[in-house]
């Protein structure tokens, strides 16, 4: 079964500059151990989200999992109705024109944004996103898809943008 950390690894592997030659180096960029990355590779390969013997994600399959599966097996329920301090995610990172989305944050005292708290995909996602703007963008779109605070329109637009970002890696966002 896939874990949130497995999906974090898959999203990082979409990046052209991802260190794919070393589990330890990839783990360091994500805040994961070498063993966790190795296990993620195995899970992703078993789930047919990573080509066997390769570091290349199966992009179309990954889109399907993120858009259709993650909202159900890794939802991002709202914590409470209070505005808190944290690291920006959702529309604050990946704006959706024509929507009035609430600002979302991953709650942490070290954050520089304010918004409604949403749990990150996994705890390591926050640190990894701070070091990689493109990964942060993909995680923010994923949060919009999995958030109970997002409207159906916002989830649909975020899913389209996520699909575009994954299937067309040279696209600018």
Same domain membership, residue 155 and residue 82: yes
Contacts of residue 123, defined as CB under 8 A and 6 or more positions apart, other chains included, come to: none
Do 131 and 29 touch, CB atoms closer than 8 A? yes
Cα→Cα distances 34→26, 40, 110, 172, Å: 8, 10, 26, 31
pLDDT at 12 over 60: yes
- Whether residue 17 is contained in a domain is answered as yes
Q: Pick the closest to residue 70 from 93, 42, 47, 91 (CA basis).
A: 47
Q: Could you read off the pLDDT of 88-128 as tens digits, one per residue?
A: 999 989 888 878 878 899 999 889 999 999 999 999 999 99
Collapsing DSSP states into helix, strand and coil, what is residue 129?
helix
Same domain membership, residue 39 and residue 103: no
Q: Pick the closest to residue 104 from 71, 122, 77, 72 (CA basis).
A: 77
Same domain membership, residue 93 and residue 29: no
Looking at residue 52, what is its pLDDT? Answer: 87
Same domain membership, residue 124 and residue 48: no
- Whether residue 173 is contained in a domain is answered as no
Same domain membership, residue 83 and residue 135: yes
pTM above 0.75, yes or no: yes
Count of domains for the chain = 2
Q: Pick the closest to residue 10 from 47, 46, 49, 38 (CA basis).
A: 49
Same domain membership, residue 82 and residue 11: no
Q: Pick the closest to residue 79 from 105, 113, 109 (CA basis).
A: 105
Q: Could you read off the pLDDT of 21-79 as tens digits, one per residue?
A: 899 999 999 999 999 999 999 999 999 999 988 899 999 999 999 999 999 999 987 76
Helix (H) or strand (E) holding 83, with range, is strand 78-89
Look at the alpha carbons of 108, 112, 132, 95 in this order and tell me if their dihedral is positive or negative. positive
Same domain membership, residue 138 and residue 65: no
For residue 138, what are the domain limits?
A: 78-167
- Whether residue 39 is contained in a domain is answered as yes
Q: Is 107 exposed, middle or buried (0-12, 13-18, 19+ CB in 10 A)?
A: middle
Same domain membership, residue 56 and residue 132: no
**Pick from 73, 105, 121: which residue ends a domain?**
73
Cα–Cα distance between 170 and 173 in angstroms, integer? Answer: 9
Same domain membership, residue 97 and residue 65: no
Same domain membership, residue 57 and residue 18: yes
**Pick from 47, 73, 99: which residue ends a domain?**
73
- Whether residue 113 is contained in a domain is answered as yes
């Amino acid at each position: 079964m896939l874990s949130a950390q497995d999906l974090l690894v898959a999203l990082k592997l979409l990046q052209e500059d991802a260190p794919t030659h070393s589990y330890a180096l990839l783990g360091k960029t994500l805040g994961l151990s070498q063993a966790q990355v190795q296990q993620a590779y195995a899970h992703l390969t078993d789930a047919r989200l990573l080509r066997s013997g390769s570091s290349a994600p199966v992009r179309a399959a990954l889109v399907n999992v993120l858009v259709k599966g993650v909202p159900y097996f890794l939802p991002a329920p709202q914590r409470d109705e209070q505005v808190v301090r944290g690291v920006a995610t959702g529309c604050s990172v990946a704006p959706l024109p024509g929507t009035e989305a609430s600002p979302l944050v991953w709650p942490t005292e070290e954050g520089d944004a304010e918004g409604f708290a949403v749990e990150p995909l996994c705890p390591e996602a926050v640190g990894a996103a701070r070091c990689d703007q493109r990964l942060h963008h993909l995680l923010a779109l994923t949060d919009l898809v999995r958030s109970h605070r997002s409207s159906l329109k916002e989830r649909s637009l975020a899913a389209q943008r996520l699909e575009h970002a994954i299937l067309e890696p040279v696209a600018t966002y």
